[in-house]
Homo-oligomer: A and B are copies of this chain.
Amino acid sequence: MPKVTEEHRLARRAQIVAAARRCVIEEGFHKTTMADVIRESGLSAGAVYGYFKSKEEIVGAIAEDALSTIDELFGTILATDDPLTPLAALEATIDHVVEIAQRPGGDVTRVAVQAWAEALRDDSIRDIARGKYCRLRDHFLEIARRAQADGTVDAGVDPEDVAQVMFSMIPGFVLQRLLIGDITPATYKAGLRALLRS
């Protein structure tokens, strides 16, 4: 396939994902239909269905966009040779989540909250959410193992248990940011420093 066509394909795909994100943020996942996404994207039905067969697939793509940047972030965090603490990893993750949320095109954390609710009633969304969140949690698992090797976390604890608690900090932050609104990376990181061993 010539390069210009591949670029065109990726731009079209991004256009559809962005349209779907706007629909879900405005209407909620449940009320959003493929017809809404087609209308919002300004493309033909045939064009949209050429990329995504269902809104479940599009939601998967929205989550994938956000998670792929988080994968990169953890690559960077783990690349250091210095002793790694859960605190340092969480501080970097919180900053990154807010950075992603503030990108133009709509707050992806709002889509996440919609997906949580939908996952409780729709097995295909639940499978997507579970897969994405297990992948995110696996990054914390890697941090926990590394911190145990470095001696900053007790080596006698199951690192999976440590990863469960570290993971919690992300939805916990997102929810307070969206529902209560008085939370910032600065206040949260101050709280983390006070509570976590370092």
Contacts and interface: CB of A to CB of B under 8 A. Distances in A.
A52 interface: no
A180 B130 contact: yes
Contacts of A86: 195
A160 to B, nearest CB: 7
Interface residues of A, number: 57
A47 interface: no
A32 to B, nearest CB: 11
Contact of A164 (B110, B117, B187, B193): B187
A70 interface: no
Contact of A113 (B116, B130, B162, B180): B116
29 contacts: A28-B30, A28-B118, A28-B121, A30-B30, A114-B120, A116-B175, A119-B179, A120-B178, A129-B179, A130-B180, A137-B180, A157-B194, A158-B190, A161-B194, A162-B194, A162-B195, A164-B176, A164-B183, A164-B188, A165-B172, A165-B188, A165-B192, A166-B195, A168-B172, A168-B173, A171-B171, A171-B172, A172-B172, A196-B196
Interface of A: 25-31, 86, 110, 113-114, 116-121, 126, 129-130, 133-134, 137, 153-154, 157-158, 160-173, 175-176, 178-180, 183, 187-188, 190-197
